[in-house]
Chains A and B, each alone.
Chain A
């Protein structure tokens, strides 16, 4: 029990440090600083990666529909929060669009009204994603492994095309940008929101349902023999994961400032899958850490490779546009080769404290 207590204290300390860092960043840096941008994006990706891990890592369903659900959440967020006065200019090709209200304004504006309205819009995006997940889950979840991946990938692509359809323009603005909606200024707000949502996922994973998910992942037949309803639990995992992907999509839209349906490509899903794999399939803290590492290096730390000078080395001939991605690919290959189970494997951050693996190894040696 003391070990559990130690872990809890350790986890609480880590979370406090992260939150304090967020506050410090907010106080010290202007909101257009690259660090602020990168931290916000990494936070959003952490949430989406964790939602994908719930499905792929904990339930063993290999789904590649994440970008589709994020698109749903993003568009829902934009549509519900663009101020009415701006709609004519945003929906310029569709006479101001069909929807003539915005949640923040309906709730009276001001700080409280806007915040609640924004959160509500995010939630609506999540619920919409969940509903669509339920619907497509009916046929798709009968498939296994690669087939499920292909079907969900196809669904996301169809959705992307569908949202750009001109006939839907009055709602989705077709292939034009949605913009002008509110954003959370502070890194701390992103931390708190994503933090709470990730905490909900962690609680779910540690509940009876989470155990059932993991049992299905380990051995479907044995899980079924224990009386676990496979179809029901798979559907549940899929719907919950999609809900959080939808909310994450809404947050990504917030961060980006504009929403273009065309940008929610399958490559976005692959980015997230990469984060999950690098972090460790089946590790929440791994997904979070990997998401920060990935976004930090791809968006910021390796930038110099594109612009002529990196770590004090000047090589304008070599370090030009695109070289960053080449180096980045090599780094990822090295990680996949040498950390085959990801940075964290299936361990969580507090587990590193317990030193259980060491003892287990010793026990095995004793046998």
Chain B
């Protein structure tokens, strides 16, 4: 279980996170919704160690993550699929996936996970020798998710997986997220597409300018009038 308490982050005097509390229970899909600049990406980047926190704590199964190096955090079982996919464009699909397993030394396990990723995303296997930069947006997103899976994480963090994708492709991606979760993976999902995210989330948090203003089950927030108005685009 991931437990965040009073997490504060600022970028040179600008407070991005003003003390947030958040829990991601094992085996659940947790989503964090909010407008642009609310601090969603900052939260994920702080958990992975890409951004240094000012204060607070991030506990992963009772172990403090703040102050640890990124490779330690990744090895501890936390993987991230970054915003905008960020696949390695000049590397092949296979090379991208192997980079995901960079910190692992168990060859057999890597081969097994590669097979699993190819089962989840048959498209990636068809294109394993293709340069990642030549894939379509949806395929690149699949690759970003597959790459994160290759580190064999226990917690998978997805930053805006629907960004810039056609609605049909977004549905594909979300059904895959559900499938991964059904196989036992804990998922922390960040989305602007609040409607989709809340539908699949067990637990949801609303982030507004660095503070958590609301939380509940996905269904609860989906039914909430304020959320409807602010994030789901449904007027009274």
Contact = CB atoms under 8 A, between A and B. Distances in A.
A221 B102 contact: no
Interface string A201-215: 000000010011011
B98 interface: yes
A367 interface: yes
B151 interface: yes
Interface residues of B, number: 28
Given A225-B50, A225-B82, A211 B99 contact: yes
A256 interface: no
A227 interface: yes
B129 A356 contact: yes
A360 B130 contact: yes
A228 B75 CA distance: 11
A312 B147 CA distance: 61
Contacts of B142: none
B102 A208 contact: yes
Interface string B64-87: 000001110111000010100011
B91 A211 contact: yes
Contact of B98 (A211, A346, A367): A211
Contacts, number: 72
Contacts of A227: 70-71, 73-75, 102-103, 151
B90 A218 contact: yes
Given A214-B88, A217-B90, A219-B88, A226 B151 contact: yes
Contacts of B86: 219, 221-222, 225
Interface string B167-195: 00000000000000000000000000000
A182 interface: no
Interface string B101-141: 01100000000000000000000000001100010100000
B146 interface: no
Nearest to A217: B90
Nearest to B86: A222
Nearest to B44: A225
Nearest to B147: A226
Interface string A238-282: 000000000000000000000000000000000000000000001
B134 A364 contact: yes
A214 B151 contact: no
Contacts of A360: 130, 134
Nearest to A214: B91
Contacts of A229: 69-71
Nearest to B69: A229
Closest 3 pairs between A and B when the two form their complex, measured CB to CB:
A227-B74, A222-B86, A218-B88
Interface of B: 48, 50, 69-71, 73-75, 80, 82, 86-91, 95, 98-100, 102-103, 129-130, 134, 136, 147, 151
